[in-house]
Homo-oligomer: A and B are copies of this chain.
């Protein structure tokens, strides 16, 4: 791939915007829009046009001066950057509520992220089919990974087991972990862990709701 990059590592705020660009371009493509300017896109996404041009040009110019960006081409390019224009194979560790919901959520499959197997220690869960996949015993994990290389493991165990399982995954060569366990984990060398702390976002919502009320009730600083 010949994408120009101006950073050693893309800044985090910018990497968070990439999926948002992609989603918006998907919507535009579905709506049949073929071209878009940075200004239009900015209005729809609550960003500035300047920021959009800055972001996109840092990957190397997907637009045409005077004409704007081609929706399909830009979507394809951003997809390449994120490496999502191919199938990803996932396994899920822990077949509880969260693990099952991830395995059954059709949206991921549509986006090319396919859950191929789940693993659990509970004999009640082993052998059960969840969506397109099946629950295996944790004891089968090592053999499974030898026969079926996976791209990403979804971590959805109880908190008490999470670090141990993460270490095992790292030792077995899994390089990407999508972690739903609300614990502070140490990533094994060579493994990237992306944390989804659902309760955190719920707290953040509570905080903003509360803050809003305080600000409305009492303009200016609240001094101790």
Binding site for B on A (CB under 8 A): 2-6, 8-10, 15-16, 18-20, 22-24, 27, 44-45, 60, 81-84, 88, 97-98, 100-101, 104-105, 107-108, 111, 113, 151-152, 175-176, 178, 182-184, 192, 194, 196-212, 215, 221-224
Q: What is the CB-to-nearest-CB distance from A191 to chain B, in angstroms, rounded to a whole number?
A: 10
Asked whether, in the complex, the Cβ of B97 is within 8 Å of the Cβ of A206, the reply is no
Asked whether, in the complex, the Cβ of A182 is within 8 Å of the Cβ of B107, the reply is yes
A198 neighbours in B (Cβ, 8 Å): 105, 107-108, 196
* 14 CB-based A-B contacts, threshold 8 Å: A2-B222, A3-B222, A4-B221, A10-B207, A15-B204, A18-B203, A19-B199, A27-B184, A100-B101, A108-B199, A108-B202, A111-B202, A194-B205, A196-B201
Copies of this chain, complex-wide, total 2
Considering the chains assembled together, what is the distance between the CA atoms of A15 and B202 in angstroms? 12
Asked whether, in the complex, the Cβ of B224 is within 8 Å of the Cβ of A60, the reply is yes
In the complex, the chain B residue whose C-beta lies closest to that of A103 is B97
Q: What is the CB-to-nearest-CB distance from A132 to chain B, in angstroms, rounded to a whole number?
A: 13
Instruction: Apart from A105-B198, A113-B202, list 15 A-B contacts with CB within 8 A.
Output: A4-B224, A18-B204, A81-B210, A82-B203, A82-B206, A88-B206, A97-B104, A98-B105, A107-B198, A108-B198, A111-B202, A113-B199, A152-B202, A194-B204, A196-B198
